[in-house]
Amino acid sequence: MAHFYYNMKLEYFKDIVEKHTELKLKNPTRKFEYIFARACYYYLCRKYTKCSFQQISKTLNKNHATVIHSLKELPYILKHHKHLQTMFNQILKEADKDYIFESTKMSIDDLVKEYNFLLLKNGELQNKLVNQDKKLKSIRSENKEMKRIIYIMADTD
């Protein structure tokens, strides 16, 4: 269910960016205005969802590396193009305003599923932490034994 929810959010962000830029994000061009528009979309997706680069890139038929590169370049674009920074701020303002209300519209069933999923993940992480602690203690005891052996060997010379 969370997957469906994120797909709706991604489509919603795509609509916001397309409305403000008056461009279609899926247009496979390398024109600067499209690069900027897609970067805005990627930014919103990363800021407001837990979607991976791969998931975001699939929505526009791009590669995950394209998303990463675009997000790295966005601050430079905004720094050197003040009119685009204004547009970006408007996009953010609309996404922020609507996100506050949209994010609270999850059903009780969805919230329970999300909570149970997080409980399971928490349990898995706690088990991993216990195992890592055991490994660390084992390594420390081996390290102490090695130091003791080295000390004994150094004394016998």
User: Residues 20, 25, 30, 31: what is their CA dihedral angle, to the nearest 10 degrees?
Assistant: -20
28 and 73 in a single domain? The answer is yes
Domain encompassing residue 82: 2-102
77 and 128 in a single domain? The answer is no
| The pLDDT of residue 1 | 44
Domain containing residue 41: CATH number: 1.10.1750.10
CA–CA distances in Å: residue 101 to residues 61, 96, 112, 135, 147 = 29, 9, 19, 46, 60
31 and 54 in a single domain? The answer is yes
CA distance 118 to 111: 10
Amino acid of residue 79: K
Domain boundary among 102, 122, 140: 102
| The pLDDT of residue 105 | 64
93 and 128 in a single domain? The answer is no
Amino acid of residue 99: Y
52 and 93 in a single domain? The answer is yes
128-156 pLDDT, tens digit per residue, is: 999 999 999 999 988 888 888 888 888 76
100-121 pLDDT, tens digit per residue, is: 545 556 778 888 888 888 899 9
76 and 127 in a single domain? The answer is no
pLDDT greater than 60 at residue 40: yes
85 and 140 in a single domain? The answer is no
Return all residues near 47 (Cβ < 8 A) that are at least 6 apart. 95
Q: What is the pTM of this model?
A: 0.61
| The pLDDT of residue 99 | 60
43 and 8 in a single domain? The answer is yes
Amino acid of residue 147: K
15 and 63 in a single domain? The answer is yes
Q: Which of 45, 44, 38, 40 is nearest to 62 (CA)?
A: 38
